[in-house]
A and B are shown apart, each in its own frame.
Chain A
Amino acid sequence: MDHDFLGLKKELPPRRSLFLLLGSFILPLGLWCLVSYTPWIWHPLVHVVDPGEVEFFSEGMDVPKATFAEENANALKAGQAVATGFPVNPAYLPSPHKVARALYTGFLTEPRLPGEPWLHQSLARSCSVIFWGFVLSSVVGVPLGILCGAFRFFARLIEPFIEFFRYLPAPAFGALCVAILGIHDAPKIGIIVIGTLFQQVLVIANTVRKTDPALIEAAQTLGAGKWQIVTRVVIPASITNLYTDMRILLGWAWTYLIVSEVVGTTSGITYFINQQARYRQFDNVYAAIIIIGLIGFISDLLLARFGRVLFPWQHPATGPGRLARFQAWMATPGRGLFPGPPPARPSLPPAA
């Protein structure tokens, strides 16, 4: 079955799997390079090097190809010196190497305005907004979700309203949040809480409801009471899935970040992006967007790794997909991101 690329639900050989994984990043990057570094693909503008005697042109200006040709033709007719230049893409599509450089130089460039935050300060502020938004949401959402999942009473009492509320778009509460919470970070955290909390209650309630009823019955026949079942069976039985839920919900919190940062006074990474766009430093804009993605991806990777430490009883054969296994592989001590001694596995005596 060596040439069956599209086997349904079939495991791919590891080499091909790795190849595809790299390909999923290399393909879009290659496309970007192709558009950026091949002068005859797209490149709708001409970057003027020497304006010659064309009146409208000045050095360093980007003009549309057609205009450039037309003006040069006119100049030639009038016997004036023609302008020279080379084809370029618009400023909003910087080439990959510029963005790559900006990933590094972005942190070293002094802000243009006095009192303006550095890139790392902007990032730190964004992360703190996310952190507090998610923590506050979880402090309320997790216990509420567990109650709803464990007891029909709370589910009927709380969930219908939340079902309704979660359809209200969180950004719509921006003005309210500012009116109530002021213009600094509080309304931003408020938006993230509104965006996350209601989903969180429902998602967690659903996960808790899926607790295997046989485990609950087993605990009952062992003498467990109602609250003992919640604390000693329902919560531990669903904790690994809850942990995964929380990782996904943290991703949702990130999607509310940009919206929340334009509420009140614009701050954090959004402020940085807006300013750089204003200066037409689009390489810095792309770099900032990529950094947000990297922070999200790496924090999820670390949380996944941490989950393996927290929940050693998880069955290795079930659950994680290819990407999760790659993440786990990257995050395993002794391999991937953490070179060092491998973890000690619980050893079993030979079967009786």
Chain B
Amino acid sequence: MSLQLPDYDKLSPEVAARFDRINQRPVTLEVRGLRRTFRTPEGTERVVFDGLDLDVHRREFITVIGPSGCGKSTFIRIVAGLDEASGGVIRLNGEAIAGPGPDRGMVFQGYTLFPWLSVKKNVMFGLRLKGMSENSAEESARSWLHMVGLGAFENAYPHQLSGGMKQRVAIARALANEPRILIMDEPFGALDAQTRAQMQMHLLQIWKKVDVTILFITHDLDEAVLLSDRILVLGCNPGGMRELIRNPVPRPRSFAQFLSPEFLSVKARLETLIHPPAEHPEEEPLPLARMTDAGDDVE
């Protein structure tokens, strides 16, 4: 028996109204019939996903979640232009994408700040590539660093920063380019639990102030429910979209909502999708290695 999510659109007019508002906004990212296959060493083809469709609206926060090795990263790397699709099309504001570009900013799980540049110069990197003058790039970099709360660190080098600070600079660097969509590949995965919690709230505050659509990968169920408007669940064998969940947890979000019925029911639904109950639970029991003479009273 797999746990179903109550139909919150019917149960709660607020939830329905919120998603109506989102759906009225223009579509930023349009994925149609996306297909990606890999050639295995044996010469056969492995289909990661086939016929993936998705519409992401402007300023929507979409989280992609799924078991490891099921193409979460492949999917967003294709959107970023770092990987090629085997078929289908991706449009950003109506234009088909080809290769990586500054209209899609990316924050990686590993720290990808340029170690030879100061924090400020890291944020200026994309702006200078665009041909912006040194002075205005510097001014812009300062304001973005201020936005992520690192105004005082503009002259520090990346190795002098903590992991959370590095990711904040990476966010500032991506946003400084004013991308239409910000792609985040498990950006807080390498951080300790406290820092991750801080960064989650921090990201929500930034997103509130900045007109940007966010496509966010995580394997952390709490993080997915805390941050997103909708959650795209990818599956394995067959690969592809399992479900696209509308997250009923009201905004503004806080950790206090972790125990709300909406939060728990979404999380429980994700749990059943990602870790489905074993199909043959009553198979042969494993032989029990008898380690002690204590008897069988240990469950």
Contact = CB atoms under 8 A, between A and B. Distances in A.
Contacts of B170: 218
Interface string A204-219: 0000000010110111
**Of listed B110, B129, B130, B183, residue having the most chain A CB within 10 A:** B129
Interface of B is mostly: loop
Contacts of A214: 108, 110, 112
A221 B114 contact: no
Contacts of A348: 153, 156, 160
Interface centre among A221, A224, A233 (most CB of B within 10 A): A221
A239 B117 CA distance: 13
B82 A237 contact: no
B114 A223 contact: no
A346 B126 contact: no
Interface stretch (B98-106, B136-144, B212-220, B244-252): B98-106
Interface in A298-312: 311-312
B88 interface: no
Given A214-B108, A346-B156, A222 B102 contact: yes
A221 B100 contact: yes
B125 interface: yes
B187 to A, nearest CB: 12
A219 B108 CA distance: 12
Nearest to A239: B116
A223 B102 contact: yes
A25 B242 CA distance: 69
Contacts of B129: 222-224, 228, 232
A239 to B, nearest CB: 7
Given A239-B116, A313-B115, A223 B153 contact: no
A215 B82 CA distance: 12
Given A223-B126, A223-B130, A352 B110 contact: no
B126 A222 contact: yes
Contacts of A236: 114, 116-117
Contacts of B117: 236, 313
Interface in A322-352: 346, 348-349, 351-352
A5 to B, nearest CB: 33
A222 B103 CA distance: 8
A346 B116 contact: no
Contacts of A220: 81-82, 99-100
A313 B116 contact: yes
Interface in B51-99: 80-82, 99
Interface string B131-172: 000000000000000000110110111111010000000100
B234 interface: no
B230 interface: no
Interface of B: 80-82, 99-102, 104-106, 108, 110, 112, 114-117, 125-126, 129-130, 149-150, 152-153, 155-160, 162, 170, 173-174, 177, 183
25 contacts: A217-B112, A218-B108, A218-B112, A220-B81, A220-B99, A221-B102, A221-B105, A222-B105, A222-B126, A223-B129, A223-B130, A224-B129, A236-B114, A236-B117, A312-B157, A313-B116, A313-B117, A313-B157, A313-B158, A313-B159, A314-B159, A315-B115, A346-B156, A348-B153, A348-B160
Given A221-B101, A223-B100, A233-B114, 15 more contacts: A218-B170, A219-B114, A221-B82, A221-B102, A222-B105, A222-B129, A223-B130, A228-B129, A236-B117, A237-B116, A313-B116, A313-B117, A313-B157, A315-B115, A315-B159
Interface of A: 212, 214-215, 217-224, 228, 232-233, 236-237, 239, 311-315, 346, 348-349, 351-352
- Report, nearest first, the 3 A-B pairs whose CB atoms are least far apart: A223-B102, A222-B126, A218-B112
